[in-house]
């Protein structure tokens, strides 16, 4: 596999792992109501007295945050899959958009979704009556956003410099040439008869 694709895959893989870790963690907020410590995430709430339990939301801010974080995870997984060289497995030459460009687009989308999720979650905390402090899951979302944008920029540069190649497989659809001497015969045979 091309070394530029390997770097792109590693960046996308790190994005996916960090996004999943922050998405499923209970380390987004910390509450101190009535002598109990409550850690809350997007899906799980953990209390010192009651243990961990799933969070059922009636809050529209939390629903939008969950949605955008989930879209960010999906976009990062798609970017990771686009960075893999599947051509030797699929044997398909027909690709309409270069793979480096698609990886770049999905990396940028993932970064935008993470930034929207963090902004909506911050609005949610500002509108709550209970004082909550933000924890590591919230703050880790900012480096994830930066990593997504850097990954998108890297893939866009590799696309512009054509460092990934054409993005298609190495199998030949047309006639196979054994040497350069066969080229005139193939070209002559492929000319239309009315010329």
At 177 the pLDDT is: 46
Pairwise CA distance, residues 60 & 40, whole Å: 16
Sheet holding 44-47, edge to edge: 51-54, 44-47, 38-40, 29-31, 132-134
% pLDDT > 70, the chain: 71
pLDDT in tens, 118-136: 998 888 777 665 677 788 8
pLDDT band at 43 (very low <50, low <70, confident <90, very high): confident
Pairwise CA distance, residues 146 & 111, whole Å: 7
At 110 the pLDDT is: 94
Bridge partners for 39 per DSSP: 30, 46
Domains and CATH numbers, the chain: 3-170 (1.20.140.150)
pLDDT in tens, 4-32: 888 888 998 999 999 999 888 888 887 76
Pairwise CA distance, residues 195 & 192, whole Å: 6
At 173 the pLDDT is: 41
Q: At 2, is the secondary structure helix, strand, or coil?
A: coil
How far is residue 37 from each of residues 24, 27, 73, 142, 169, measured CA to CA in Å? Answer: 19, 12, 29, 25, 56
97-100: Cβ within 8 A, 24+ apart: 98/159, 98/164, 98/166, 98/167, 99/164, 99/167, 100/4, 100/8, 100/155, 100/156, 100/158, 100/159, 100/163, 100/164, 100/167
């Amino acid at each position: 596999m091309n070394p530029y694709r390997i770097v792109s895959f590693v960046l996308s893989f790190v994005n996916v792992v960090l996004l999943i870790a922050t998405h499923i963690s209970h380390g987004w907020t910390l509450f101190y109501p009535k002598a109990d410590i409550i850690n809350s995430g997007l899906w799980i709430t953990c209390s010192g007295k009651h243990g961990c339990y799933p969070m059922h939301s009636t809050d529209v801010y939390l629903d939008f945050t969950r949605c955008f974080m989930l879209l960010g995870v999906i976009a990062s997984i798609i970017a990771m899959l686009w960075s893999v060289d599947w051509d030797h497995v699929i044997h398909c030459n027909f690709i309409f958009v270069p793979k480096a460009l698609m990886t770049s687009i999905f990396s940028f989308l993932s970064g935008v979704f993470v930034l929207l999720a963090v902004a909506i979650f911050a609005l949610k905390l500002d509108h709550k009556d209970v004082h909550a402090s933000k924890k590591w899951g919230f703050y880790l979302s900012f480096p994830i956003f930066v990593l997504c944008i850097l990954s998108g920029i890297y893939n866009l540069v590799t696309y512009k410099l054509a460092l990934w190649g054409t993005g298609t497989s190495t199998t030949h659809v047309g006639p196979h040439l054994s040497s350069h001497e066969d080229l005139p015969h193939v070209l002559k045979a492929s000319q239309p008869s009315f010329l």
